[in-house]
Amino acid sequence: MHVNPVLGRLGLGPKDRAVILHVDDVGMCHATIPAAVELHEARTVSSFSVMVPCAWSELATRTLTAAGADVGVHWTITSEWPYYRWSPVTGAPDLRDRDGRFPATNDQIRAQASPGSVSVELAAQLDRATQWGRISHCDSHMGAIGTPEFMVAAIQVALERGVVPFVPRFDAEGWRQLGLDEAAAAQAGAHIAQLEEAGIPLVDHLRSLPLDHADDHRGYLLALLDDLPPGVCHLYCHPAMDTSELRDLCNDWPGRVANFEALRSDGLADEIAKRGVTLVPYSSLQQLLPQ
């Protein structure tokens, strides 16, 4: 694809690399909140998103916005852990499993939920977070809204409220590689082209820190940045402090703790700067939204 116009609108050149170093799952449990605050103060990450249906989401949102952090909503329509579950903030029965919670997997929610119910739920989550603090953007927990039907509804909800929807700037082939069938991928690619034509800021690349192991996450991050092509990158991670709560909830807790330890490590901000990448928050993209 051609050069992302967002680079120029941010004052960067066509060969520059803008990175939104993004912390997901904030408020999922308490261990995520002090980790997020410390990383905001360390200036090694640039944006955060909060899981509104989860127990600690209000404290997370209020704490981070009070600290001046860039905060978004991690739109949540799945509940993946076996013994720690959360429920919709709306009453739609097609968003719930037999226990009244969100289904555990993307396949389950996509099979049973209507785009209308999803749209109402996403709007309610965003409106609730906006009562707690300044919200710049929305993205998707587990990528659950990454189907054409859900995605169109989600983008409309975000734009109506003046926040940036996280949208990968992928053509049909890019969507096929994410698992969509040919028809859905073509539909998604055409919609993305329309959004860019309308001036909606989009991201070129999607990268992440690992959760499946705890080995040298700092080195992994720096190597990833070394290899990153020009454009705008949404680089997400899941840092949390090592607590008994986290260990009880998540079987991938070692990876979450390793994310945190890497991002808080001495000299990381300087190492990132040496690689010639520009960390940007979603609030910078929010300023680019059409008025």
Over residues 33-66, the pLDDT tens digits come to 999 999 999 999 999 999 999 999 999 999 999 9
Evaluate if residue 95 carries a pLDDT over 70. Answer: yes
| Four-point Cα dihedral 280, 284, 289, 291, nearest 10 | -170
| The pLDDT value given to residue 42 | 97
Number of Cβ within 10 Å of residue 209's Cβ equals 21
Does 86 or 177 have the greater pLDDT score?
A: 86
Does 149 or 101 have the greater pLDDT score?
A: 101
Q: Among all chains, which residue has been given the structure tokens 């960390």? A: 279
Residues marked active site are found at: 24, 238
Q: What is the mean pLDDT of residues 198-216?
A: 97
Confidence of residue 1 (pLDDT cuts 50, 70, 90): low
Task: Tell me how far apart the alpha carbons of residues 232 and 53 are, in angstroms, rounded to a whole number.
Answer: 29
Would you tell me the crossing angle of helices 115-132 and 57-66 to the nearest 10 degrees?
Answer: 50
Confidence of residue 197 (pLDDT cuts 50, 70, 90): very high
* Least trusted range by pLDDT, from 67-81, 122-136, 160-174: 160-174
Write down all domains in the chain, each with its CATH number in brackets.
Answer: 5-286 (3.20.20.370)
Of 275, 286, 291, 235, the closest CA to residue 6 belongs to: 286
Q: What is the mean pLDDT of residues 178-194?
A: 88
The CA-atom distances, in angstroms, between 11 and each of 166, 239, 278 are 20, 30, 11
Q: What is the pTM of this model?
A: 0.96
Q: What is the mean pLDDT of residues 67-82?
A: 98
Evaluate if residue 233 carries a pLDDT over 80. Answer: yes
| The pLDDT value given to residue 113 | 98
| The pLDDT value given to residue 174 | 86
Task: Tell me how far apart the alpha carbons of residues 263 and 209 are, in angstroms, rounded to a whole number.
Answer: 10
Averaged pLDDT score across all residues of the chain? 96
